[in-house]
Amino acid sequence: MTQTLSSVSYAHVSELDHQYLLQVYRRFPVLIVRGQGVWLYDEQGNAYLDFLSGIAVCSVGHCHPKFVQRLSEQAGRLIHVSNLLLTEPPAQLAKRLCEVSGMERVFFTNSGAEACEATIKIARKYANHVRKVPDYEILVLEGSFHGRTMGAVSATAQPKYQEPFAPLLPGFRVIPANDIDALQTAFNERTVAIMLEPIQGEGGVRPLSDDYLRRVRELCDEYQALMIVDEVQAGVGRTGKWFSYQHADILPDVVASAKGLGGGFPIGACLMRGVASTVLQPGDHGTTYGGNPLAASAGLAVMEIIEEENLCENAERVGNYLASRLHELQAQGAPITEVRGRGLMLGVQLSLPIARTVVQKALEHRLILNATSDYVLRLVPPLVLTEAEVDIAVDILNQVLQEVQP
Ligand SMILES: Cc1ncc(COP(=O)(O)O)c(C=O)c1O
């Protein structure tokens, strides 16, 4: 493939970044100028295998030709008119999302946090106007992550995200994750909703068991509480099904989606069914951009490509292959104690606190990885990944793990 060299330099862009951008991210020391499939290219034409995909976002790979074409066509036709005017793409995307999820209505947002905010507003109005429980509780799970807006932060049961921004929104009660006894004890007449990720992503790729999810569903039915599932990271094919709750054969009442849905174009969605879809009425909630024609076209293109290229099946098959290759490394004595997750959402638990060093070293070997803590590597590559690309990545990881061991 021909590599176009860029006229920009790493040093120049890095200087601008450090001078003008708020430094809330510790960025990798590379300048990315182009992407194709599962590969990213820096300004010198070096290729990097991308096992991060924009933090579980670029589901159909970088610059998929059909995706680019659909976005370009829509950009040339109509980009934005606001939700006060009717346009076709959001209506079509909402229909497709309902068909694959079992939900009945959709509210579009611009991000995962906003999708979660919408779910929280539904739960709060449901508590106040439907259940009429003034001292209501929304259960959330230890280790969760629902985003950076204040409602989502308040639902995020991890002190490092909450402590600097106190006081938090009231009404949440934290319970241990994946503990059925604790779950049963926590439910009571004040419980109006429970919000959870079937696989906690930022919390270290920690899946809830199918039994746990089924028990949540039963308790929600028993107590008339809403089951809110945050599929922002695990959804849209990544785990081998459209949504990861489908592995447990249950239907939530409310679902948050984003990331992979837009394939890199910002869009989120709050999906709902039953009583949950009757709670918010005209004037209760809104957003200027949510589901504009361009963003919705991105979502439609992503869903079409996933279907045409069988990317759910690919995520499952290649994900299983990746997990088996990682287990091989473990068996050969690499400092790996567990490989967990589903499809192409995998976490590698290390026995040593070297995850961040592994990420740095892997970058030097042109593999882009991510660590959720000192002990956990997160692998969330594009869903178009092949077994041959898994082999390249696992060879690099193997070499890096040998280099960084004390
Ligand atoms: C499960 C989950 N929910 C919500 C969010 C927030 O999404 P966003 O960063 O698009 O606001 C994230 C982001 O990592 C996430 O993983």
Which residues contact residue 237 at a Cβ distance below 8 angstroms, ignoring those fewer than 6 apart?
Answer: 59, 260, 306, 311, 312, 315, 343, 383
Residue after which a domain boundary falls, among 308, 328, 344: 308
Domain ranges, residue 120: 66-308
Q: How confident is the model over 88-117, as a mean pLDDT?
A: 98
pLDDT for the residue 164:
97
- The preferred substitution site among 52, 146, 156, 372 for testing ligand 1, maximizing ligand atoms within 8 Å of CB, is 146
Task: Tell me whether residue 377 is in a domain.
Answer: yes
Ligand 1 atom closest to 152 (CA): 4
Q: What is the pLDDT of residues 111-146, one digit of tens each?
A: 999 999 999 999 999 999 999 999 999 999 999 999
Q: Which residue has the CA at smallest separation from atom 8 of ligand 1?
A: 112
Total count of domains within the chain: 2
292 and 381, same domain (yes or no): no
Q: Ligand 1: which residue has its CA nearest to atom 10?
A: 112
pLDDT at 6: 65
Q: How far is CA 127 from each of CA 28, 175, 285, rounded to the nearest angstrom? A: 44, 19, 16
CA–centroid distance, 331 to ligand 1, in Å, is: 33
Look at residue 32 and tell me if it is in a domain.
no
Is the CB of 231 within 6 Å of ligand 1? no
In the predicted model, what is the mean pLDDT of the chain? Answer: 97
**Beta partners for 268?**
109
Report CA(21)–ligand 1 centroid distance (Å): 21
Q: Which residues of 311-336 are buried (b: 16+ CB within 10 A; e: fewer)?
A: bbebbbebbebbbebbeebbeeebbb
As a whole number of Å, the CA-based R_g of the chain is: 21
CA 37-38-39 angle, to 5 degrees, is 90
Residues 165-208: pLDDT tens digits? Answer: 999 999 999 999 999 999 999 999 999 999 999 999 999 999 99
Tell me how far the alpha carbon of residue 396 is from its chain's centroid: 25
pLDDT recorded at residue 5:
55
**Enclosing H/E stretch for 342:** strand 336-342
Ligand 1 atom 16 nearest Cα: 233
232 in contact with ligand 1, CB cutoff 6 A: yes
Residue ending a domain, choose from 265, 288, 308: 308
Ligand 1 centroid, distance to 224 Cα (angstroms): 27
What is the chain's length? 406
pLDDT tens profile 338-381 = 999 999 999 999 999 999 999 999 999 999 999 999 999 999 99
- Same domain, residue pair 317 and 296: no
pLDDT range class, residue 3, cuts 50, 70, 90? very low
Question: Would you please indicate which residues are annotated as catalytic (active-site) residues?
Answer: 145, 230, 259
Question: Looking at the predicted structure, is the pLDDT value of residue 152 above 90?
Answer: yes
Percent over 90 (pLDDT), the chain? 98
> How far is residue 248 from each of residues 52, 245, 321, measured CA to CA in Å?
26, 6, 22
Q: How far apart are CA 78 and CA 88, in angstroms?
A: 11
CA of 111 to the centre of ligand 1 (A): 7
User: Does the predicted TM-score (pTM) go above 0.85?
Assistant: yes
Q: In this structure, what token pair is assigned to residue 376?
A: 């956990």
- Using the CB atoms, write b or e for 37-75: b if 16+ within 10 Å: bbbbbbbeeeebbbbbbbebbbbbbbebeebeebbeebe
Asked if residue 20 belongs to a domain, the reply is no
Percent of the chain with pLDDT over 70: 98
- Please check whether residues 399 and 331 belong to one and the same domain: yes
Residues 276, 173 share a domain: yes
Let me know the angle formed at the C-alpha of 25 by 110 and 266, rounded to the nearest 5 degrees. Answer: 15
- Work out which ligand 1 atom sits closest to the CA atom of 113: 11
